[in-house]
Chains A and B, each alone.
Chain A
Amino acid sequence: MAQAQDIIRAAARRDIRNRWWLSSPALAIIFLAAIGPLFVVVLYSVMEKGSYGDVKYWQFSGQGWFEVLFERDMFDNTVSLADAHLSILWRSVKLAAITTVVTLILGFPTAYFIATRPRHRRDLWLFLITIPFWTNLLIRTFAIQEVFRNEGLLNVVLMKVGLIDKPIQIMFTDAAILLGMGYVYLPLMVLPLYASLEKFDFRLAEAAADLYAGGFRILSRVIVPIVRPGIIAGSILVFIPSLGSYVTPRLLGGGKSLMLGNLIELQFGQGRNWPLGAALSISLTAIVMLSLLVYVRASSKTEVRHG
Protein backbone atom coordinates (compact mmCIF):
# COMPACT_ATOMS: atom_id res chain seq x y z
CA MET A 1 0.00 0.00 0.00
CA ALA A 2 2.62 2.51 1.08
CA GLN A 3 4.71 1.57 -1.91
CA ALA A 4 1.90 2.27 -4.36
CA GLN A 5 1.45 5.69 -2.80
CA ASP A 6 5.15 6.38 -3.13
CA ILE A 7 5.03 5.53 -6.81
CA ILE A 8 2.05 7.83 -7.37
CA ARG A 9 3.79 10.60 -5.48
CA ALA A 10 6.99 10.15 -7.48
CA ALA A 11 5.01 10.27 -10.72
CA ALA A 12 3.34 13.50 -9.62
CA ARG A 13 6.74 15.01 -8.79
CA ARG A 14 8.09 13.98 -12.18
CA ASP A 15 5.03 15.49 -13.86
CA ILE A 16 5.58 18.82 -12.10
CA ARG A 17 9.27 18.76 -13.02
CA ASN A 18 8.43 18.11 -16.68
CA ARG A 19 5.94 20.94 -16.59
CA TRP A 20 8.68 23.29 -15.38
CA TRP A 21 10.94 22.20 -18.25
CA LEU A 22 8.13 22.71 -20.74
CA SER A 23 7.39 26.22 -19.56
CA SER A 24 11.02 27.25 -19.19
CA PRO A 25 11.54 28.72 -22.71
CA ALA A 26 8.58 31.09 -22.33
CA LEU A 27 9.59 32.03 -18.79
CA ALA A 28 13.21 32.59 -19.86
CA ILE A 29 12.32 34.83 -22.82
CA ILE A 30 9.94 36.92 -20.75
CA PHE A 31 12.51 37.16 -17.97
CA LEU A 32 15.26 38.31 -20.34
CA ALA A 33 13.24 40.74 -22.43
CA ALA A 34 10.54 42.02 -20.07
CA ILE A 35 10.69 41.25 -16.35
CA GLY A 36 14.46 41.32 -15.85
CA PRO A 37 14.84 44.79 -17.39
CA LEU A 38 12.00 45.96 -15.17
CA PHE A 39 14.04 44.99 -12.10
CA VAL A 40 16.98 46.91 -13.53
CA VAL A 41 14.72 49.97 -13.75
CA VAL A 42 13.82 49.53 -10.08
CA LEU A 43 17.55 49.47 -9.27
CA TYR A 44 18.25 52.51 -11.44
CA SER A 45 15.57 54.50 -9.62
CA VAL A 46 17.62 54.40 -6.42
CA MET A 47 21.02 55.18 -7.96
CA GLU A 48 22.88 58.41 -8.43
CA LYS A 49 22.41 60.31 -11.67
CA GLY A 50 25.41 60.08 -14.03
CA SER A 51 26.66 63.02 -16.02
CA TYR A 52 25.93 61.61 -19.49
CA GLY A 53 22.39 60.49 -18.94
CA ASP A 54 23.22 57.17 -17.32
CA VAL A 55 23.67 56.26 -13.65
CA LYS A 56 26.69 55.89 -11.37
CA TYR A 57 26.63 52.19 -10.61
CA TRP A 58 26.21 51.16 -6.99
CA GLN A 59 26.09 54.69 -5.69
CA PHE A 60 22.70 54.80 -4.11
CA SER A 61 20.61 57.90 -3.80
CA GLY A 62 16.98 58.77 -3.18
CA GLN A 63 17.20 61.71 -5.53
CA GLY A 64 15.20 60.06 -8.32
CA TRP A 65 12.23 59.36 -6.08
CA PHE A 66 12.58 62.74 -4.37
CA GLU A 67 12.31 64.49 -7.74
CA VAL A 68 9.07 62.73 -8.62
CA LEU A 69 7.27 65.01 -6.19
CA PHE A 70 9.67 67.76 -5.18
CA GLU A 71 12.27 70.04 -6.65
CA ARG A 72 15.23 71.76 -5.00
CA ASP A 73 15.98 75.30 -5.99
CA MET A 74 19.39 75.54 -7.63
CA PHE A 75 20.42 78.68 -5.76
CA ASP A 76 18.97 78.73 -2.28
CA ASN A 77 18.40 74.97 -1.83
CA THR A 78 14.76 75.41 -0.83
CA VAL A 79 12.46 72.48 -1.46
CA SER A 80 9.13 72.91 -3.20
CA LEU A 81 6.63 70.67 -4.92
CA ALA A 82 7.65 69.78 -8.47
CA ASP A 83 4.80 71.57 -10.21
CA ALA A 84 5.86 70.48 -13.69
CA HIS A 85 5.74 66.77 -12.84
CA LEU A 86 2.68 66.99 -10.64
CA SER A 87 0.70 68.82 -13.29
CA ILE A 88 1.63 66.17 -15.88
CA LEU A 89 0.79 63.39 -13.42
CA TRP A 90 -2.51 65.04 -12.63
CA ARG A 91 -3.26 65.64 -16.30
CA SER A 92 -2.56 61.96 -17.09
CA VAL A 93 -4.89 60.70 -14.37
CA LYS A 94 -7.53 63.30 -15.28
CA LEU A 95 -7.44 62.57 -19.02
CA ALA A 96 -7.44 58.81 -18.46
CA ALA A 97 -10.42 59.10 -16.08
CA ILE A 98 -12.40 61.35 -18.44
CA THR A 99 -11.62 59.02 -21.35
CA THR A 100 -12.95 56.11 -19.30
CA VAL A 101 -16.18 57.93 -18.43
CA VAL A 102 -16.75 59.17 -22.00
CA THR A 103 -16.13 55.74 -23.54
CA LEU A 104 -18.46 54.21 -20.94
CA ILE A 105 -21.25 56.69 -21.74
CA LEU A 106 -20.87 56.01 -25.46
CA GLY A 107 -19.89 52.34 -25.20
CA PHE A 108 -22.71 51.12 -22.98
CA PRO A 109 -25.54 52.06 -25.35
CA THR A 110 -23.50 50.65 -28.23
CA ALA A 111 -22.97 47.32 -26.47
CA TYR A 112 -26.65 47.31 -25.44
CA PHE A 113 -27.70 47.97 -29.01
CA ILE A 114 -25.59 45.09 -30.34
CA ALA A 115 -26.72 42.70 -27.60
CA THR A 116 -30.41 43.35 -28.31
CA ARG A 117 -30.21 42.77 -32.08
CA PRO A 118 -31.52 39.47 -33.45
CA ARG A 119 -28.84 36.82 -33.18
CA HIS A 120 -27.92 36.63 -36.87
CA ARG A 121 -27.44 40.42 -37.09
CA ARG A 122 -25.35 40.64 -33.91
CA ASP A 123 -22.26 39.14 -35.52
CA LEU A 124 -22.21 41.82 -38.19
CA TRP A 125 -22.40 44.71 -35.69
CA LEU A 126 -19.76 43.02 -33.57
CA PHE A 127 -17.60 42.64 -36.65
CA LEU A 128 -17.84 46.43 -37.17
CA ILE A 129 -16.46 46.98 -33.64
CA THR A 130 -13.74 44.36 -34.08
CA ILE A 131 -12.22 45.97 -37.18
CA PRO A 132 -11.12 49.19 -35.46
CA PHE A 133 -10.05 47.06 -32.49
CA TRP A 134 -7.59 45.15 -34.70
CA THR A 135 -6.43 48.18 -36.66
CA ASN A 136 -3.01 49.55 -35.76
CA LEU A 137 -3.24 52.19 -33.04
CA LEU A 138 -0.95 54.46 -35.02
CA ILE A 139 -3.29 54.37 -38.01
CA ARG A 140 -6.33 55.13 -35.87
CA THR A 141 -4.50 58.07 -34.31
CA PHE A 142 -3.54 59.23 -37.80
CA ALA A 143 -7.19 58.92 -38.85
CA ILE A 144 -8.33 61.17 -36.02
CA GLN A 145 -5.55 63.60 -36.98
CA GLU A 146 -7.03 63.77 -40.48
CA VAL A 147 -10.31 64.95 -38.98
CA PHE A 148 -9.00 67.49 -36.48
CA ARG A 149 -6.08 69.07 -38.34
CA ASN A 150 -6.41 72.74 -39.26
CA GLU A 151 -6.86 71.67 -42.88
CA GLY A 152 -8.66 68.50 -41.79
CA LEU A 153 -12.17 67.31 -42.52
CA LEU A 154 -13.89 69.04 -39.60
CA ASN A 155 -12.44 72.49 -40.21
CA VAL A 156 -12.86 72.26 -43.98
CA VAL A 157 -16.52 71.31 -43.64
CA LEU A 158 -17.24 73.94 -40.98
CA MET A 159 -15.60 76.64 -43.13
CA LYS A 160 -17.42 75.57 -46.31
CA VAL A 161 -20.70 75.69 -44.45
CA GLY A 162 -19.72 79.11 -43.16
CA LEU A 163 -20.00 78.41 -39.44
CA ILE A 164 -16.42 79.58 -38.87
CA ASP A 165 -14.09 81.69 -41.00
CA LYS A 166 -10.78 80.45 -39.68
CA PRO A 167 -9.87 76.93 -38.56
CA ILE A 168 -10.42 75.97 -34.91
CA GLN A 169 -7.16 74.85 -33.34
CA ILE A 170 -7.92 71.39 -31.94
CA MET A 171 -4.59 69.69 -32.47
CA PHE A 172 -1.95 70.04 -29.75
CA THR A 173 -4.49 70.62 -26.97
CA ASP A 174 -5.73 68.47 -24.10
CA ALA A 175 -9.03 68.20 -25.96
CA ALA A 176 -7.26 66.59 -28.91
CA ILE A 177 -5.62 63.99 -26.66
CA LEU A 178 -8.95 63.31 -25.00
CA LEU A 179 -10.85 62.91 -28.27
CA GLY A 180 -8.04 60.80 -29.69
CA MET A 181 -7.88 58.43 -26.72
CA GLY A 182 -11.67 58.17 -26.62
CA TYR A 183 -11.67 57.23 -30.28
CA VAL A 184 -8.80 54.79 -30.03
CA TYR A 185 -10.02 52.98 -26.89
CA LEU A 186 -13.79 52.89 -27.51
CA PRO A 187 -13.71 49.30 -28.88
CA LEU A 188 -11.89 48.20 -25.68
CA MET A 189 -14.93 49.40 -23.72
CA VAL A 190 -17.59 48.00 -26.02
CA LEU A 191 -16.26 44.44 -26.27
CA PRO A 192 -16.29 43.46 -22.54
CA LEU A 193 -19.57 45.34 -22.03
CA TYR A 194 -21.07 43.34 -24.87
CA ALA A 195 -19.75 40.10 -23.40
CA SER A 196 -21.68 40.86 -20.18
CA LEU A 197 -24.82 42.20 -21.83
CA GLU A 198 -24.99 39.26 -24.20
CA LYS A 199 -25.40 36.93 -21.22
CA PHE A 200 -27.96 39.21 -19.58
CA ASP A 201 -31.46 37.77 -19.54
CA PHE A 202 -33.50 40.63 -20.99
CA ARG A 203 -36.70 39.07 -19.69
CA LEU A 204 -35.64 40.51 -16.32
CA ALA A 205 -35.88 44.01 -17.79
CA GLU A 206 -39.33 43.17 -19.21
CA ALA A 207 -40.42 41.83 -15.83
CA ALA A 208 -39.32 45.09 -14.20
CA ALA A 209 -41.27 47.02 -16.82
CA ASP A 210 -44.37 44.95 -16.07
CA LEU A 211 -43.95 45.95 -12.45
CA TYR A 212 -44.15 49.60 -13.53
CA ALA A 213 -40.44 50.44 -13.34
CA GLY A 214 -39.46 53.28 -15.68
CA GLY A 215 -36.65 53.07 -18.23
CA PHE A 216 -34.08 54.66 -15.95
CA ARG A 217 -35.00 52.51 -12.98
CA ILE A 218 -34.76 49.36 -15.08
CA LEU A 219 -31.32 50.45 -16.16
CA SER A 220 -30.00 51.44 -12.74
CA ARG A 221 -31.68 48.77 -10.63
CA VAL A 222 -31.74 45.73 -12.91
CA ILE A 223 -29.33 45.91 -15.82
CA VAL A 224 -26.34 47.78 -14.37
CA PRO A 225 -26.03 45.70 -11.15
CA ILE A 226 -25.96 42.47 -13.15
CA VAL A 227 -23.55 43.58 -15.88
CA ARG A 228 -21.26 45.32 -13.39
CA PRO A 229 -18.32 42.95 -14.05
CA GLY A 230 -18.43 43.99 -17.69
CA ILE A 231 -18.53 47.66 -16.73
CA ILE A 232 -15.54 47.23 -14.43
CA ALA A 233 -13.63 45.20 -17.03
CA GLY A 234 -14.26 47.77 -19.75
CA SER A 235 -13.31 50.68 -17.50
CA ILE A 236 -10.04 49.06 -16.44
CA LEU A 237 -9.23 48.05 -20.02
CA VAL A 238 -9.65 51.68 -21.10
CA PHE A 239 -8.13 53.36 -18.04
CA ILE A 240 -4.86 51.42 -18.03
CA PRO A 241 -3.71 52.04 -21.62
CA SER A 242 -4.98 55.63 -21.45
CA LEU A 243 -2.86 56.32 -18.39
CA GLY A 244 0.27 54.89 -19.98
CA SER A 245 -0.58 56.33 -23.38
CA TYR A 246 2.44 57.43 -25.39
CA VAL A 247 1.65 57.50 -29.11
CA THR A 248 -1.63 59.41 -28.93
CA PRO A 249 -0.38 62.33 -26.79
CA ARG A 250 2.84 62.44 -28.80
CA LEU A 251 0.99 62.83 -32.09
CA LEU A 252 -2.05 64.81 -30.97
CA GLY A 253 -0.51 66.72 -28.06
CA GLY A 254 2.51 67.60 -30.18
CA GLY A 255 5.02 68.01 -27.37
CA LYS A 256 2.99 70.78 -25.73
CA SER A 257 0.50 68.62 -23.88
CA LEU A 258 2.51 65.84 -22.26
CA MET A 259 1.31 62.79 -20.43
CA LEU A 260 3.17 60.52 -18.03
CA GLY A 261 4.47 58.29 -20.83
CA ASN A 262 6.02 61.25 -22.63
CA LEU A 263 7.50 62.60 -19.39
CA ILE A 264 9.19 59.24 -18.83
CA GLU A 265 10.60 59.28 -22.36
CA LEU A 266 11.86 62.81 -21.81
CA GLN A 267 13.87 61.77 -18.73
CA PHE A 268 15.59 58.98 -20.66
CA GLY A 269 16.18 61.24 -23.65
CA GLN A 270 16.85 64.95 -23.52
CA GLY A 271 16.27 65.20 -19.77
CA ARG A 272 19.21 62.86 -19.07
CA ASN A 273 17.80 62.00 -15.70
CA TRP A 274 17.53 58.21 -15.67
CA PRO A 275 16.86 57.80 -11.93
CA LEU A 276 13.89 60.17 -12.17
CA GLY A 277 12.66 58.44 -15.34
CA ALA A 278 13.01 55.09 -13.58
CA ALA A 279 11.11 56.30 -10.50
CA LEU A 280 8.33 57.68 -12.70
CA SER A 281 8.15 54.35 -14.58
CA ILE A 282 7.79 52.42 -11.34
CA SER A 283 5.11 54.85 -10.15
CA LEU A 284 3.12 54.36 -13.37
CA THR A 285 3.47 50.58 -13.11
CA ALA A 286 2.35 50.71 -9.47
CA ILE A 287 -0.81 52.68 -10.34
CA VAL A 288 -1.62 50.19 -13.11
CA MET A 289 -1.05 47.18 -10.84
CA LEU A 290 -3.27 48.75 -8.18
CA SER A 291 -6.08 49.26 -10.68
CA LEU A 292 -5.71 45.65 -11.77
CA LEU A 293 -5.93 44.54 -8.16
CA VAL A 294 -9.12 46.57 -7.66
CA TYR A 295 -10.47 44.91 -10.80
CA VAL A 296 -9.65 41.39 -9.63
CA ARG A 297 -11.16 42.10 -6.19
CA ALA A 298 -14.31 43.61 -7.66
CA SER A 299 -14.88 40.84 -10.16
CA SER A 300 -14.31 38.03 -7.66
CA LYS A 301 -16.68 39.70 -5.19
CA THR A 302 -19.49 39.92 -7.72
CA GLU A 303 -18.96 36.29 -8.61
CA VAL A 304 -19.44 35.29 -5.00
CA ARG A 305 -22.60 37.38 -4.74
CA HIS A 306 -24.20 35.96 -7.84
CA GLY A 307 -22.46 32.63 -7.63
Chain B
Amino acid sequence: MARRYSVQRQRGFTLIALFCFVLLYLPMVTLVAYAFNAGISTSNWEGVSLRWFHAAAANERIIDATLRSLTIAPIAGLIATVAATMAALATTRTAPYPGLTFKYAFINQPLMVPEIVTAVALLVVFSQVKVWTGYSGLGYLIAAHTAFCIPFAYLPIKARLETMDLTLERAAADLYARPWMVFRRVTLPLLWPGILAGFMLAFVVSLDDVVITEFVKSAGQETLPTYMLGQLRRQATPEMNAISTVFLGLSIAVVTLFFFLSRRKD
Protein backbone atom coordinates (compact mmCIF):
# COMPACT_ATOMS: atom_id res chain seq x y z
CA MET B 1 0.00 0.00 0.00
CA ALA B 2 1.50 3.32 -1.05
CA ARG B 3 1.79 6.18 1.41
CA ARG B 4 -1.39 8.22 1.44
CA TYR B 5 -1.20 11.33 -0.74
CA SER B 6 -1.89 14.54 1.14
CA VAL B 7 -2.51 17.88 -0.47
CA GLN B 8 -1.29 19.74 2.60
CA ARG B 9 1.86 17.75 3.15
CA GLN B 10 4.11 18.25 0.16
CA ARG B 11 7.33 18.31 2.10
CA GLY B 12 9.44 19.73 -0.74
CA PHE B 13 7.00 22.57 -1.33
CA THR B 14 6.73 23.36 2.37
CA LEU B 15 10.52 23.51 2.68
CA ILE B 16 10.86 25.86 -0.31
CA ALA B 17 8.02 28.02 1.00
CA LEU B 18 9.54 28.40 4.46
CA PHE B 19 12.92 29.09 2.82
CA CYS B 20 11.23 31.87 0.81
CA PHE B 21 9.78 33.48 3.91
CA VAL B 22 13.20 33.44 5.59
CA LEU B 23 14.71 34.82 2.40
CA LEU B 24 12.17 37.65 2.24
CA TYR B 25 12.60 38.72 5.85
CA LEU B 26 16.30 38.11 6.57
CA PRO B 27 17.56 41.14 4.59
CA MET B 28 14.90 43.40 6.07
CA VAL B 29 15.68 42.25 9.60
CA THR B 30 19.39 42.88 8.91
CA LEU B 31 18.57 46.36 7.65
CA VAL B 32 16.56 47.17 10.77
CA ALA B 33 19.16 45.66 13.09
CA TYR B 34 21.93 47.85 11.69
CA ALA B 35 19.74 50.90 12.27
CA PHE B 36 19.99 50.24 16.01
CA ASN B 37 23.74 49.58 15.98
CA ALA B 38 25.68 52.05 18.14
CA GLY B 39 28.81 52.02 15.96
CA ILE B 40 29.24 53.33 12.42
CA SER B 41 30.78 50.13 11.09
CA THR B 42 28.20 47.70 9.84
CA SER B 43 30.35 44.64 10.39
CA ASN B 44 30.73 45.15 14.14
CA TRP B 45 27.90 45.16 16.61
CA GLU B 46 28.57 47.77 19.28
CA GLY B 47 25.36 47.66 21.22
CA VAL B 48 21.86 49.02 20.86
CA SER B 49 21.31 52.75 20.44
CA LEU B 50 18.97 55.24 18.84
CA ARG B 51 21.95 57.30 17.71
CA TRP B 52 21.19 57.03 14.00
CA PHE B 53 17.53 57.89 14.41
CA HIS B 54 18.56 61.08 16.22
CA ALA B 55 21.18 61.81 13.57
CA ALA B 56 18.62 61.36 10.77
CA ALA B 57 16.05 63.50 12.53
CA ALA B 58 18.61 66.29 12.91
CA ASN B 59 19.89 66.10 9.32
CA GLU B 60 18.52 69.14 7.53
CA ARG B 61 18.68 67.57 4.06
CA ILE B 62 16.60 64.66 5.30
CA ILE B 63 14.06 66.97 6.95
CA ASP B 64 13.84 69.04 3.77
CA ALA B 65 13.36 65.96 1.57
CA THR B 66 10.76 64.48 3.93
CA LEU B 67 8.74 67.70 3.95
CA ARG B 68 8.82 67.80 0.15
CA SER B 69 7.65 64.19 -0.09
CA LEU B 70 4.87 64.97 2.36
CA THR B 71 3.84 67.99 0.27
CA ILE B 72 3.68 66.17 -3.05
CA ALA B 73 2.01 62.93 -1.94
CA PRO B 74 -1.21 64.39 -0.45
CA ILE B 75 -1.71 66.90 -3.29
CA ALA B 76 -1.03 64.38 -6.06
CA GLY B 77 -3.04 61.74 -4.19
CA LEU B 78 -6.01 64.06 -3.75
CA ILE B 79 -6.14 65.28 -7.36
CA ALA B 80 -5.64 61.74 -8.64
CA THR B 81 -8.44 60.42 -6.41
CA VAL B 82 -10.93 63.07 -7.51
CA ALA B 83 -10.08 62.53 -11.20
CA ALA B 84 -10.16 58.75 -10.75
CA THR B 85 -13.52 58.83 -8.98
CA MET B 86 -15.03 60.85 -11.82
CA ALA B 87 -13.48 58.54 -14.38
CA ALA B 88 -14.72 55.46 -12.53
CA LEU B 89 -18.26 56.86 -12.45
CA ALA B 90 -17.98 57.46 -16.19
CA THR B 91 -16.73 53.99 -17.05
CA THR B 92 -18.81 51.64 -14.89
CA ARG B 93 -22.43 50.57 -14.64
CA THR B 94 -23.17 51.09 -18.32
CA ALA B 95 -23.55 49.11 -21.49
CA PRO B 96 -20.36 49.28 -23.56
CA TYR B 97 -20.30 52.56 -25.46
CA PRO B 98 -17.93 53.88 -28.14
CA GLY B 99 -14.69 54.95 -26.53
CA LEU B 100 -15.04 52.87 -23.36
CA THR B 101 -12.15 50.54 -24.22
CA PHE B 102 -10.11 53.56 -25.25
CA LYS B 103 -10.70 55.09 -21.82
CA TYR B 104 -9.63 51.91 -20.05
CA ALA B 105 -6.44 51.75 -22.08
CA PHE B 106 -5.75 55.45 -21.53
CA ILE B 107 -6.25 55.32 -17.77
CA ASN B 108 -4.15 52.19 -17.34
CA GLN B 109 -1.37 53.39 -19.63
CA PRO B 110 0.92 54.56 -16.80
CA LEU B 111 0.91 50.98 -15.48
CA MET B 112 1.87 49.47 -18.83
CA VAL B 113 4.77 51.64 -19.94
CA PRO B 114 8.10 51.01 -18.16
CA GLU B 115 8.71 53.69 -15.56
CA ILE B 116 12.11 54.61 -16.96
CA VAL B 117 10.52 55.39 -20.35
CA THR B 118 7.88 57.67 -18.83
CA ALA B 119 10.67 59.24 -16.78
CA VAL B 120 12.84 60.19 -19.76
CA ALA B 121 9.78 61.28 -21.74
CA LEU B 122 8.82 63.67 -18.93
CA LEU B 123 12.42 64.84 -18.63
CA VAL B 124 12.49 65.74 -22.31
CA VAL B 125 9.15 67.54 -22.33
CA PHE B 126 9.30 69.27 -18.95
CA SER B 127 12.85 70.55 -19.47
CA GLN B 128 11.59 72.26 -22.63
CA VAL B 129 8.54 73.65 -20.80
CA LYS B 130 10.83 74.95 -18.05
CA VAL B 131 12.80 76.90 -20.65
CA TRP B 132 9.65 78.33 -22.25
CA THR B 133 7.82 79.32 -19.07
CA GLY B 134 10.70 79.95 -16.68
CA TYR B 135 8.70 78.12 -14.00
CA SER B 136 10.60 75.37 -12.23
CA GLY B 137 8.58 74.76 -9.07
CA LEU B 138 7.00 71.64 -7.62
CA GLY B 139 4.20 71.73 -10.22
CA TYR B 140 6.02 69.37 -12.57
CA LEU B 141 6.53 66.74 -9.89
CA ILE B 142 2.92 67.06 -8.76
CA ALA B 143 1.64 66.70 -12.35
CA ALA B 144 3.84 63.66 -13.00
CA HIS B 145 2.85 62.01 -9.71
CA THR B 146 -0.84 62.71 -10.27
CA ALA B 147 -0.71 61.02 -13.68
CA PHE B 148 0.81 57.74 -12.46
CA CYS B 149 -1.34 57.76 -9.29
CA ILE B 150 -4.62 57.87 -11.25
CA PRO B 151 -4.66 54.18 -12.28
CA PHE B 152 -3.89 53.13 -8.70
CA ALA B 153 -6.70 55.26 -7.29
CA TYR B 154 -9.04 54.16 -10.11
CA LEU B 155 -8.78 50.39 -9.44
CA PRO B 156 -10.43 50.14 -5.98
CA ILE B 157 -13.02 52.82 -6.79
CA LYS B 158 -14.05 51.01 -9.96
CA ALA B 159 -14.17 47.68 -8.12
CA ARG B 160 -16.39 49.19 -5.44
CA LEU B 161 -18.74 50.77 -8.01
CA GLU B 162 -19.12 47.50 -9.87
CA THR B 163 -20.29 45.63 -6.80
CA MET B 164 -22.60 48.40 -5.60
CA ASP B 165 -26.35 47.97 -5.52
CA LEU B 166 -28.15 50.10 -8.13
CA THR B 167 -31.59 49.85 -6.51
CA LEU B 168 -30.92 52.40 -3.76
CA GLU B 169 -30.05 55.06 -6.30
CA ARG B 170 -33.10 54.20 -8.36
CA ALA B 171 -35.27 54.39 -5.26
CA ALA B 172 -33.89 57.82 -4.44
CA ALA B 173 -34.54 59.00 -8.01
CA ASP B 174 -38.10 57.63 -7.84
CA LEU B 175 -38.58 59.75 -4.74
CA TYR B 176 -37.78 62.82 -6.84
CA ALA B 177 -34.20 63.32 -5.64
CA ARG B 178 -32.28 65.33 -8.21
CA PRO B 179 -29.23 63.59 -9.75
CA TRP B 180 -26.80 65.65 -7.65
CA MET B 181 -28.74 64.83 -4.49
CA VAL B 182 -28.73 61.11 -5.36
CA PHE B 183 -24.98 61.30 -5.87
CA ARG B 184 -24.27 63.18 -2.63
CA ARG B 185 -26.67 61.34 -0.36
CA VAL B 186 -26.60 57.81 -1.78
CA THR B 187 -23.78 57.09 -4.22
CA LEU B 188 -20.98 58.93 -2.45
CA PRO B 189 -21.54 57.45 1.04
CA LEU B 190 -21.68 53.96 -0.47
CA LEU B 191 -18.58 54.61 -2.56
CA TRP B 192 -16.60 56.10 0.32
CA PRO B 193 -14.56 52.97 1.30
CA GLY B 194 -13.40 52.62 -2.31
CA ILE B 195 -12.43 56.27 -2.52
CA LEU B 196 -10.50 56.03 0.74
CA ALA B 197 -8.66 52.91 -0.42
CA GLY B 198 -7.90 54.66 -3.74
CA PHE B 199 -6.49 57.70 -1.97
CA MET B 200 -4.32 55.61 0.33
CA LEU B 201 -2.95 53.64 -2.61
CA ALA B 202 -2.21 56.83 -4.55
CA PHE B 203 -0.59 58.42 -1.50
CA VAL B 204 1.70 55.45 -0.89
CA VAL B 205 2.60 55.09 -4.56
CA SER B 206 3.51 58.78 -4.75
CA LEU B 207 5.52 58.62 -1.53
CA ASP B 208 7.47 55.60 -2.83
CA ASP B 209 8.28 56.83 -6.30
CA VAL B 210 11.96 57.04 -7.20
CA VAL B 211 12.50 56.79 -10.94
CA ILE B 212 10.09 59.38 -12.32
CA THR B 213 10.88 61.83 -9.51
CA GLU B 214 14.63 61.43 -10.09
CA PHE B 215 14.25 62.52 -13.72
CA VAL B 216 11.60 65.22 -13.31
CA LYS B 217 12.93 67.06 -10.24
CA SER B 218 14.69 70.38 -10.69
CA ALA B 219 17.86 71.21 -8.77
CA GLY B 220 17.28 71.17 -5.02
CA GLN B 221 14.00 69.28 -5.23
CA GLU B 222 15.06 66.06 -3.53
CA THR B 223 12.27 63.89 -2.18
CA LEU B 224 13.05 61.30 0.48
CA PRO B 225 13.41 58.40 -2.01
CA THR B 226 15.65 60.36 -4.43
CA TYR B 227 17.78 61.55 -1.50
CA MET B 228 18.16 57.93 -0.41
CA LEU B 229 18.99 56.83 -3.96
CA GLY B 230 21.80 59.37 -4.04
CA GLN B 231 23.13 58.25 -0.66
CA LEU B 232 22.90 54.53 -1.38
CA ARG B 233 25.16 54.80 -4.39
CA ARG B 234 27.98 55.75 -2.06
CA GLN B 235 28.83 54.05 1.18
CA ALA B 236 25.67 54.77 3.11
CA THR B 237 25.72 55.73 6.79
CA PRO B 238 23.37 53.94 9.21
CA GLU B 239 21.19 57.06 8.96
CA MET B 240 19.80 55.40 5.83
CA ASN B 241 18.98 52.30 7.89
CA ALA B 242 17.15 54.49 10.37
CA ILE B 243 15.04 56.17 7.64
CA SER B 244 14.36 52.81 5.99
CA THR B 245 13.24 51.39 9.32
CA VAL B 246 10.74 54.21 9.74
CA PHE B 247 9.51 53.67 6.15
CA LEU B 248 9.23 49.94 6.79
CA GLY B 249 7.25 50.57 9.95
CA LEU B 250 4.87 52.77 7.97
CA SER B 251 4.35 50.09 5.28
CA ILE B 252 3.64 47.49 7.95
CA ALA B 253 1.17 49.86 9.61
CA VAL B 254 -0.66 50.51 6.32
CA VAL B 255 -0.80 46.82 5.35
CA THR B 256 -2.00 45.88 8.84
CA LEU B 257 -4.71 48.53 8.67
CA PHE B 258 -5.92 47.20 5.30
CA PHE B 259 -5.70 43.64 6.61
CA PHE B 260 -7.99 44.33 9.55
CA LEU B 261 -10.37 46.53 7.54
CA SER B 262 -10.87 43.78 4.96
CA ARG B 263 -11.24 41.15 7.70
CA ARG B 264 -13.97 43.03 9.51
CA LYS B 265 -16.03 43.00 6.32
CA ASP B 266 -16.13 39.17 6.15
Contact = CB atoms under 8 A, between A and B. Distances in A.
B159 interface: no
A35 B109 contact: yes
Q: Which of B17, B125, B241 has the most CB of A within 10 A?
A: B17
A138 interface: yes
A135 B114 CA distance: 19
24 contacts: A29-B79, A34-B113, A35-B106, A36-B125, A37-B121, A110-B17, A110-B20, A110-B21, A123-B259, A131-B251, A131-B255, A132-B25, A136-B247, A136-B251, A140-B27, A140-B28, A244-B116, A246-B115, A246-B116, A246-B119, A278-B124, A281-B117, A288-B112, A292-B112
Interface in A187-227: 187, 190, 202, 205-206, 209-210, 212, 215, 218
A109 to B, nearest CB: 4
Interface stretch (A60-68, A70-78, A112-120, A298-306): A112-120
A110 B18 CA distance: 8
Interface stretch (B59-67, B147-155, B189-197): B147-155
Interface in A123-150: 123, 125, 127-132, 134-147, 149
A198 B203 CA distance: 30
A5 interface: no
A268 B43 CA distance: 38
B117 A38 contact: yes
Contacts of A107: 20
Interface residues of A, number: 95
A192 to B, nearest CB: 15
Contact of A136 (B21, B119, B225): B225
B167 interface: no
B251 A289 contact: no
Contacts of B16: 106, 109-110, 113
Contacts of A125: 21
A contacts with B: majority SS: helix
Interface of B: 2, 5, 7-8, 10, 12-14, 16-21, 23-28, 30-31, 34, 41-43, 79-80, 82-84, 86-87, 89-91, 94, 97-99, 103, 106-107, 109-110, 112-126, 143-144, 146-148, 150, 154, 204, 208, 210-211, 215, 225, 228-229, 232-233, 236, 240-241, 244, 247-248, 251-252, 254-256, 259, 263
B118 A183 contact: no
A162 interface: no
Contacts of A128: 21, 24-25
B222 to A, nearest CB: 13
B34 A284 contact: no
B122 A20 contact: no
A284 B116 CA distance: 10
A138 B232 CA distance: 9
Given A113-B14, A251-B233, A37 B118 contact: yes
Contacts of A274: 124
Among A142, A209, A244, max chain B CB count under 10 A is at A142
Given A32-B147, A146-B30, A116 B8 contact: yes
A247 interface: yes
Interface string A221-244: 000000000000000000011011
Counting from the closest, the 9 A-B pairs by CB-CB distance are A244-B114, A209-B5, A113-B17, A37-B121, A22-B90, A143-B27, A33-B147, A109-B13, A26-B87
Contacts of B154: 26
Given A16-B97, A261-B114, A265-B120, A33 B17 contact: no
A190 B23 CA distance: 14
B112 to A, nearest CB: 6
Given A142-B244, A186-B20, A265-B120, A285 B14 contact: no
A261 B116 contact: yes
Interface in A270-307: 274, 277-278, 281-282, 284-285, 288-289, 292
Contacts of B236: 142
Nearest to A223: B7
Contacts of B28: 132, 135, 140, 143
Interface string A92-117: 00000000000000110110111011
Interface in A25-60: 25-27, 29-38, 40-41, 44
Contacts of B19: 106
Given A38-B121, A113-B14, A145-B232, A202 B7 contact: yes
Which residue, of B5, B20, B116, has the highest number of chain A Cβ atoms within 10 A? Answer: B116
A20 B98 CA distance: 10
